[in-house]
Structure 1
Amino acid sequence: MELFPARDIPARDVLASVVVFLVALPLCIGVAVASGVPPELGLVTGIVGGLVAGALPGSSLQVSGPAAGLTVLVYEAVREHGLPVLGLIVLATGLLQLAMGALRLGRWFRAISVSVVQGMLAGIGLALVFGQAHTLFDGRSPGAALANITALPALVADSARDTSALAAGGVGVGTLLVLVCWRFVPAWLRTVPAALVAVALATLATALFDLPVKRIQVHGLLESIRPPALDQLGRLADVGVLGTIIAFTLIASAESLFSAAAVDRMHDGPRTRYDQELMAQGAGNTVCGMLGALPMTAVIVRSATNVQAGARTKLSRVLHGGWLLLFTVAAPAALGVIPVTALAAVLVHAGWKLLSPREVGRLWRTERGEAIVLIGTTLAIVFTNLFEGVLIGILLAVSKTAWDVSDIHVDVREHDEGPIEIKLTGNATFLRLPRVLDTLEAIPHGRPVELDLSGLRHLDHACRTALLSWAAQHRRRDDTPVRVSEPV
């Protein structure tokens, strides 16, 4: 017997699409504002995520749109290269994703260390929290994550003397309180998304008390769309632009496919086909690029909401894009009454959830090496930028794996008569070479030695050279025989 009859699935999908739309609406606008672009562009990306990526095969239930995880990178790209180049960057990102999907590279993204991904999300979360803390008080963030952190004392001092900043801070903090406390309200009320309620209450309070806070600047949907111009194609030769494209591609693809793996664990429906999902994301980003909109990824919050709302087919995610389009066309003026500080509070809350301090604590107790990779990636993102931070995280993960794999045991056996027997087992790499040489150099002089390397599973060039050099020196110094048994 089916859990839900087939005739009931469309109705459930329609209901789920409305719930996802209500969650996506403030997030699409908030991500756009935090990225330094017109809010309509966030809605455009959400619409494309539903109508284009949502209609393509790959994952049946995960939802795509503008993601908080790319906010910092988009903000830096717009600041360095300008808004007109953003569409070109997103377009190139989409084409690269299409190519990687066609080459069946989607599954390889599952090989990325989970600690690096968690560290990436935590770094993004920190950058969001400290960056949007300035926007909470209607201020402007200095830019980079480290600059945002160091500027916080000045923000507090300046806001304390500015009534408008205090009013904005009050609205922002109130919005945060609603977001944090919404899980304690009765279950029937929790069917309404917390973000929607928080933003609606903030908007109502701002209007009722006529508070002197900044509202969203509305330009109109068609006015905000800026397709890349042909004369901008030459910017693709810019090293900075190429680096940004690579960063967009790797991070958006990884976030989407990790989200797909997480969503697959939430339901019993069809599993994600990773290569096809990567192509769906590529198609969506290609369209977003041609419209000059924000890049898209699959987003876990909206995807989890879709599953929890009872969706069973891709109809729900396609319809959510339709609702976003209908809202943008029918009620664009509604955006102009939303206080910016309320959207900043939504993103601060989203950034805090990305930090996952409990997971860090669990890893520190059980897998300290993985915890170091996670924390190192997070700090690298804060002190450098998102792209370089992720590269440092990957380097840390590779180094940690190499250290774990290069486990070597040195067994020294001395007899009353005959040679000293030294047997090495395990994997001999340069990482363990100091320990091995310390043991060998403590061998007594003047006695023959048998150095048995046959038990090694791996012997790299650095270790082989160092061991043979030690054997030759021991032989010359003491004029005693040294026999070396090479690995098989």
Structure 2
Amino acid sequence: MEKTNTTTSGFISQLPKNIFSGFVVSLIALPLGLGLALASEAPPISGIIAAVAGGIIVSIFGGSNVTITGPGNGLVVVLLGAITTLANGDVFQGYLFTLAAIICSGALMIIIGQLRLGILSDYFPSSAIQGMLAAIGISIFAKQFHVMLANTSIKGDTISLLASIPDSILVLFNPEYRAVAIAALVGIISFLIMVFYGKIRNKYFQLVPAPMWIVLLAIGLSYYYEIFSSQPYPIDTSLLVQMPDDVFSNFPSPDFSLLFDLKFISVVLAITLISSIESLLSIKAVDKLDTVKRRSNVNKDLTALGIASIVSGFIGGLNVVTVIARSSVNVNNGGTNRTSNFFHSIFLILFVVLFQDQLRRIPLTALAAILVYTGYKLAAPRNLKDVAKIGKEQLLIFFATIIATITTNLITGILIGILATIIIHFILNKSVMFFARNLFKPNVLMFKEEINGNYFVSVKNFSNFMNYSQLKRRLDTIPETQDAIIDFSLCDFVDYTVQESLIGYQETFKRKGGSFEITGLDIHGTSSEHPLAVRSLIPFSKKIKISATSNFTKRQVDLQHIASNFSWQYDPKKNIDISSVQDFVFFKTKKINYINNSIYDTQSIFKISDIEFSEGEFIARTLVRTTVLTINLKVEIPKFTLDKEGLLEFVYKFAGFKDINIQGHPDFSKRFYLLGEHPEQIRSFFKDELVLFFESNPYYHIECNGIYLLVMRKERLASIKEIKALLDYGTRLEKVISSIQSNEIVLKSPKIKS
């Protein structure tokens, strides 16, 4: 009961923040809703209806926390195509068919959510999605650029619209078209406001979002001509927002007569596909912004979005999706829960009820300018540059998706992007059978380690967008307050999509107090110097210099920082000189392949390295990578091996070794297995301070070959956190041994028999 009261009081105390945030979001949603509807050739009010239906229904039934819902940018191209083609050019009838398609799409989204198929978003390669979004941006830009310049007569596909841009610009200089000059000027000024709004650092000016400034100035221009000017308003009514006298009556009736028509079905599938992708991407992105560090239930949200789309379609609105830009504004203005989405809808209703006359004064050119800027942001050259940095193969996927989407449709475009990604992965690995053999095999092993409670996840064979769901399912079961280590040592190929997704996990774990470390990627070749570039054990044609810091994995960058903090050296390169470790008992029956990622001090006392070695031969041969610390003692001491009591005890006894007990320390003898060829010399060396050190610190496997100590914990690569602990342990152990040596308790070399 007390918890309920606390929750209720917290909800009430946060209500003012969410009301204010909902109001700010509504200032953006109003012009965008009108603009997106107009860009789709739908009635302007249909965009507002979608925002209202989405805000109310998703805030009640949704599974996200701070997201905002409404009409989305990604659907403009699909809806425009549907409205203009389903009825063979009859726009109003096409709109009625499209409403039916939106309702059917909503039903499909409910099914997707109920079947918990939100995970399907993981099967889309990142570069293909970026290409699809860029293609949508290009299409929006191409269509709305002409409207921004008050030229609504130019029609056609995206390519022809782009080719006609010079014509629309030249028309402005034709004296016969002076009547549209003012409208075009409003569009151009509106676009400049969108471009330069972010550069104005006045906190009062920033209280009003850029789209709302455009609306206010455009409406103000209308009132100026009405009240202060003797000249008539220069913008023709055909270039103003058209709204019915009573927006809450005479809702259009969706037309389901094309329900089984192939063209209609393709529209439904396209709306569902883009709605799902846009919403899932937005939900993931907004979860990273959530100050309370919550994770959304995407399947519950998809169900709610489906319900909202059905309601919206029946009352004449567009489909409902989760939108990233408005959600970001919500978080930045203090939105903390779903009520901000609800209040943004309430404010939209108030705007439409109270300011219908003012909405009819908004020029279409001003709304088009907002969309031109939106399209530009989706397809900005900077996005192309960012994709090119990741690798040339990502650029091919990106362009293949763009070209296919623009020349065909969104579904074909994304399918071409997926196909291009698969073919490129085949080429990079020089094998089709490698993927065919391993695609449906379990490739993820996860367990919780007993010693420190770490979650260890090992990935083998390959990891890309086709089988990432296997890895994601395991990762989602790990509490974000714990420590997780993801090891790709046994993985031949890791693509960009997987690595990008894992970065999201790293950020979430870090925010919630856990750690999420990725190991084993530094042995792979890369397609570029980007830290998230495709990595493969098969060499790429272009060799990337390992010395380039930009090509380091996150773990290697962290290792470099550790070395810098100690004023030590870091060498990432593979080294086949294994003389420093081959003389230890642990490696006697193992074949060491190389040492890499070495950190060492200038006095050559400490050296921590990753080591790859093989165990067994032929079919039983397995590769293992582990992290070890070696300590140069300078003065010889007895040879010994120290390990935790347990399973190894039986192995040692079976091999004829006997545990050496230290007198006066029964607890030590119970907890540790100590062995060596000269028990008396070992007992003499294990003084009280050394025994106390081992008893009061975590367990490590320790060997001494006379001059060097080998310290290691597990037969796997250590995480950065574990490496720091290992270095701390090793430096303190060396001090204890040096203290024993300085007290002349160290045995002299001649007395030690080899």
Instruction: Give the TM-score of the pair, scaled to structure 2.
Output: 0.52
- 2:364 is aligned to 340
**Higher percent of residues as helix:** 1
Q: Is residue 62–residue 298 contact of structure 1 (8 Å, CA) maintained in 2?
A: yes
Cα deviation 1:356-411 (Å, max 9, x = unaligned): 43232122123221222122212222222333222222222232233334459xxx
SS in 1 for 2:243: coil
Task: Give the distance between the partners of 2:309 and 2:430, measured in 1 at CA.
Answer: 42
Letter in 1 for 2:224: L
- 2:518 is aligned to none
- 2:243 is aligned to 218
Using the TM superposition, give the Cα deviation of residue 225 of structure 1 relative to its aligned residue in structure 2, in angstroms.
2.5
Q: Is residue 62–residue 305 contact of structure 2 (8 Å, CA) maintained in 1?
A: no
Task: Give the distance between the partners of 2:12 and 2:116, measured in 1 at CA.
Answer: 36
Change over 3 Å in CA distance of 1:101–1:365 after alignment to 2: same
Task: Give the distance between the partners of 1:159 and 1:268, measured in 2 at CA.
Answer: 48
1:195 aligns with 2:202: no
- 1:85 is aligned to 97
Equivalent of residue 110 in structure 1, options 113, 122, 138? 122
1:277 aligns with 2:297: no
Q: Is residue 40–residue 77 contact of structure 2 (8 Å, CA) maintained in 1?
A: yes
1:148 aligns with 2:172: no
Cα deviation 1:215-246 (Å, max 9, x = unaligned): 11111413562132xxx433111100000000
Task: Give the distance between the partners of 2:322 and 2:179, measured in 1 at CA.
Answer: 37
SS in 2 for 1:138: coil
Equivalent of residue 248 in structure 1, options 261, 265, 271? 271
Q: Is residue 69–residue 124 contact of structure 1 (8 Å, CA) maintained in 2?
A: yes
Aligned length: 408
Change over 3 Å in CA distance of 1:309–1:139 after alignment to 2: same
Task: Give the distance between the partners of 2:118 and 2:428, measured in 1 at CA.
Answer: 27
Equivalences for 1:22-37 in 2 at 5 Å?
Answer: 22-37=27-42
Cα deviation 1:110-165 (Å, max 9, x = unaligned): 33112122111111111111110110122224132112112223323333221123
Q: Is residue 50–residue 64 contact of structure 1 (8 Å, CA) maintained in 2?
A: yes
Task: Give the distance between the partners of 2:430 and 2:251, measured in 1 at CA.
Answer: 54
Indicate the larger mover: 213-222 or 345-354. 213-222
Task: Give the distance between the partners of 2:115 and 2:14, measured in 1 at CA.
Answer: 35
Equivalences for 1:357-396 in 2 at 5 Å?
Answer: 357-396=381-420
- 2:285 is aligned to 262
Q: Is residue 97–residue 256 contact of structure 2 (8 Å, CA) maintained in 1?
A: no
SS in 2 for 1:298: strand
Using the TM superposition, give the Cα deviation of residue 87 of structure 1 relative to its aligned residue in structure 2, in angstroms.
1.3
SS in 1 for 2:62: coil
Q: Is residue 218–residue 361 contact of structure 2 (8 Å, CA) maintained in 1?
A: no
SS in 2 for 1:310: coil
Q: Is residue 36–residue 78 contact of structure 1 (8 Å, CA) maintained in 2?
A: yes
1:293 aligns with 2:308: no
Equivalent of residue 237 in structure 1, options 260, 264, 269? 260
Change over 3 Å in CA distance of 1:163–1:224 after alignment to 2: farther
Letter in 2 for 1:376: A
Change over 3 Å in CA distance of 1:62–1:402 after alignment to 2: farther
1:12 aligns with 2:17: yes
- 1:485 is aligned to none
Indicate the larger mover: 11-20 or 383-392. 383-392
Using the TM superposition, give the Cα deviation of residue 184 of structure 1 relative to its aligned residue in structure 2, in angstroms.
2.1
Task: Give the distance between the partners of 1:315 and 1:166, measured in 2 at CA.
Answer: 43
Using the TM superposition, give the Cα deviation of residue 338 of structure 1 relative to its aligned residue in structure 2, in angstroms.
0.4
Letter in 2 for 1:122: A
Letter in 2 for 1:67: G
1:178 aligns with 2:193: yes
Letter in 2 for 1:14: I
% of aligned pairs identical? 29
Equivalences for 1:364-443 in 2 at 5 Å?
Answer: 364-407=388-431
**Higher percent of residues as strand:** 2
Change over 3 Å in CA distance of 1:360–1:157 after alignment to 2: closer
Change over 3 Å in CA distance of 1:164–1:379 after alignment to 2: farther
Task: Give the distance between the partners of 2:116 and 2:106, measured in 1 at CA.
Answer: 15
SS in 2 for 1:160: coil
Using the TM superposition, give the Cα deviation of residue 308 of structure 1 relative to its aligned residue in structure 2, in angstroms.
0.7
- 1:439 is aligned to none
Q: Is residue 135–residue 340 contact of structure 1 (8 Å, CA) maintained in 2?
A: yes
Task: Give the distance between the partners of 1:7 and 1:95, measured in 2 at CA.
Answer: 34
Task: Give the distance between the partners of 1:66 and 1:143, measured in 2 at CA.
Answer: 23
Q: Which has the higher contact order (CA 8 A, sep 6+)?
A: 1
Task: Give the distance between the partners of 2:250 and 2:241, measured in 1 at CA.
Answer: 14
Task: Give the distance between the partners of 1:224 and 1:177, measured in 2 at CA.
Answer: 38
Cα deviation 1:241-299 (Å, max 9, x = unaligned): 00000000011011000100000111243211111111111111111122232112111
1:71 aligns with 2:83: no
Task: Give the distance between the partners of 2:40 and 2:380, measured in 1 at CA.
Answer: 23
Q: Is residue 313–residue 319 contact of structure 2 (8 Å, CA) maintained in 1?
A: yes
Q: Which runs of 5+ in 2 are unaligned?
A: 1-6, 87-93, 226-232, 433-491, 494-618, 621-754
Equivalent of residue 120 in structure 1, options 126, 132, 136? 132
1:138 aligns with 2:150: yes
Task: Give the distance between the partners of 2:380 and 2:165, measured in 1 at CA.
Answer: 23
Task: Give the distance between the partners of 1:104 and 1:23, measured in 2 at CA.
Answer: 32
Using the TM superposition, give the Cα deviation of residue 28 of structure 1 relative to its aligned residue in structure 2, in angstroms.
0.4
SS in 1 for 2:248: helix
SS in 2 for 1:237: coil
Q: Is residue 182–residue 235 contact of structure 2 (8 Å, CA) maintained in 1?
A: yes
SS in 2 for 1:233: coil
Indicate the larger mover: 47-56 or 247-256. 47-56
Equivalent of residue 180 in structure 2, options 165, 178, 187? 165
Cα deviation 1:24-69 (Å, max 9, x = unaligned): 1100011011111111111111100101122223111111101121
- 1:318 is aligned to 342
Cα deviation 1:63-122 (Å, max 9, x = unaligned): 110112111111110001211111110000000000111111012213311212211111
Q: Is residue 136–residue 378 contact of structure 2 (8 Å, CA) maintained in 1?
A: yes
Instruction: Give the TM-score of the pair, scaled to structure 1.
Output: 0.79
Change over 3 Å in CA distance of 1:50–1:273 after alignment to 2: same
Indicate the larger mover: 309-318 or 138-147. 138-147
Change over 3 Å in CA distance of 1:347–1:224 after alignment to 2: farther
